[in-house]
Amino acid sequence: MKKILKIAVPVLVVIALIVTCIFVFRKDSTTVILDNSDKSYFVDFYTEGDKVYIECVLNIYANKDTEVLICATDTDNVKIGLLESPELTGIDKTDKDTTFNLKAGENEVTVLFEGDYAGIYQIFAREIPRFIEVKTK
């Protein structure tokens, strides 16, 4: 019995240390989800100089306070001549920054998707861009 205890105690201590290290050194993951229901919607679009701005309200859920970048891809508006390229950069309408500060829970943010103006003042559809990416910083 004493032999078993001499072996079992060190093994249990090593297991406890491994479990402790896993909890201490694990990376906290941030989850960010774009709500694509009617809570996210298109507002308007306009041009300023050589830029196009597509204003949208997005409902985004975050499991903890975090900073995110928002971008979109819009090939439809390239085809009709509104945009020169499909890449759109998300800009916070309130502070003109490309970083959005989200609180834990539900967030409503107004995004200006900025792209290069191709010369045709017409939009394909009055909807949020089809491909939106929300990246944690």
C-beta separation of 44 from 55 below 8 A: yes
Q: What's the mean pLDDT in 98-118? A: 97
Q: What's the mean pLDDT in 9-32? A: 58
Q: 71-99, pLDDT tens digit by residue?
A: 999 999 999 999 999 999 999 999 999 99
C-beta separation of 37 from 93 below 8 A: no
Comparison of pLDDT for 20 and 46, the residue scoring more: 46
Which phi and psi (to 5°) does residue 114 adopt?
-100, 130
Q: What's the mean pLDDT in 114-123? A: 97
Comparison of pLDDT for 9 and 32, the residue scoring more: 32
| pLDDT reported for residue 21 | 43
Structure tokens at 88: 């759109």
CB atoms within 10 A of CB 135: 11
Q: 35-45, pLDDT tens digit by residue?
A: 988 999 999 99
Q: Mark out the alpha helices in 47-93 (DSSP H runs).
A: 76-79
Strand runs labelled E in 63-130: 66-73, 87-92, 99-102, 105-116
For residues 73 and 85, give the distance between their C-alpha atoms in angstroms, rounded to a whole number.
Answer: 9
For residues 87 and 78, give the distance between their C-alpha atoms in angstroms, rounded to a whole number.
Answer: 10
Q: What's the mean pLDDT in 111-133? A: 96
Q: 30-76, pLDDT tens digit by residue?
A: 999 999 889 999 999 999 999 999 999 999 999 999 999 999 999 99
